[in-house]
């Protein structure tokens, strides 16, 4: 005889087909950080559908689960997407052990809980997205999606005119071959500060810097101008703006190829 499930028991099956880890649910709701949410769970302070949950692997349906912390109902905050024009000299972390400035110093207090979508290295600048919509973020960053990132690299020139061709052909790095999907000159290679536009479809650590270094090219500045369908535009350095509904819909469409059925966060 099949065992009957108790009416209020937590479940890993969801009517919406979209599951979220409990600690992520709490973090997105603004209760605590992901680590702090884990502490709340293991200490027995979290209930799902009326029952205490202490297992960190528990998943919930964010559309229908009744989640409480210390008997207080917790609801997800609306999905939020921000674009930040990251200046150079900021690190994409919440805490830097070396005491360097962090991107969250640039954000208004009410949105400092938002995770960043990918990252830019310390001296790189330009477009950085932040969002609490983890399922879409996961799909955008998945290698299968192939989201294009566009960068403008200002070089210490002059340099050889064939650099874009060499970037498209690919170079050997210590973690495997790397190549640009597209590359073209924005300002000519014989200028004192030539600029090349480089389009990548992955987000490996310091990839462009390492590619250029392997070709003997010295980088002056590196600026990301777009991430998928989102453009940096005229956003001032250090400033943020909320993405429009049209931009959010474009991100959803861009993430769709990596989605097959339910996405588990």
Is 61 an annotated catalytic residue?
no
Cα gap 75→91, rounded to integer Å: 31
Contact assessment for residue 46 and residue 23, using Cβ atoms and an 8 Å cutoff: no
Of 125, 156, 150, 126, give the one whose Cα is nearest residue 219. 156
Distance CA 84, CA 125 (A): 10
Instruction: Give the active site residue among 61, 121, 165, 175.
Output: 121
User: Element (H or E) spanning 48, and its range?
Assistant: strand 46-48
Residue of 11, 78, 18 lying closest to 48 (CA atoms): 11
Strands 240-242 and 81-86: antiparallel
* Backbone phi and psi for residue 23, each to the nearest 5 degrees, phi listed first: -65, -30
* 3-class DSSP assignment, residue 247: helix
Report whether 40 contacts 26 (CB < 8 A). Answer: yes
Picking from 164, 154, 254, 150, the residue whose alpha carbon sits closest to that of residue 200 is 150
The owner of tokens 């917790």 is: 74
Alpha helices by DSSP H, listed for 104-179, are: 134-141, 163-169
**Look-up of token digits 């879409």:** 136
Catalytic residues: 121
């Amino acid at each position: 005889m099949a065992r009957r499930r108790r009416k209020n028991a937590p479940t890993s099956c969801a009517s919406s087909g979209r599951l979220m880890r409990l600690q992520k649910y709490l973090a997105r709701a603004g209760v605590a950080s992901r680590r702090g949410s884990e502490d709340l769970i293991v200490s027995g302070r979290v209930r799902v559908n009326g029952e205490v949950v202490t297992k960190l692997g528990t998943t919930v349906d964010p559309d229908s689960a009744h989640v409480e912390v210390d008997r207080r109902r917790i609801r997800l905050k609306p999905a939020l997407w921000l674009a930040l024009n990251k200046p150079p000299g900021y690190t994409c972390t919440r805490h830097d052990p070396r005491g360097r400035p962090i991107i969250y110093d640039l954000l208004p207090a009410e949105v400092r809980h938002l995770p960043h979508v990918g990252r830019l290295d310390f001296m790189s600048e330009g477009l950085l997205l932040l969002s609490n919509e983890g399922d879409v973020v996961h799909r955008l960053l998945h290698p299968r999606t192939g989201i294009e990132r566009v960068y403008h690299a200002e070089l210490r020139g002059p340099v050889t005119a064939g650099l874009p061709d060499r970037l498209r052909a690919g170079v050997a790095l210590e973690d495997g071959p790397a190549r640009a999907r597209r590359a073209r000159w924005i300002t000519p290679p014989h200028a004192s500060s030539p600029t090349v536009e480089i389009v990548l479809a992955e987000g490996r650590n310091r990839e462009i810097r390492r590619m250029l270094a392997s070709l003997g090219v010295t980088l002056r500045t590196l600026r990301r101008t777009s991430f998928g369908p989102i453009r940096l535009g005229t956003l001032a350095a250090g400033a943020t703006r909320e993405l429009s509904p049209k931009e959010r819909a474009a991100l959803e469409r861009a993430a769709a190829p990596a989605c097959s059925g339910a996405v588990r966060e």
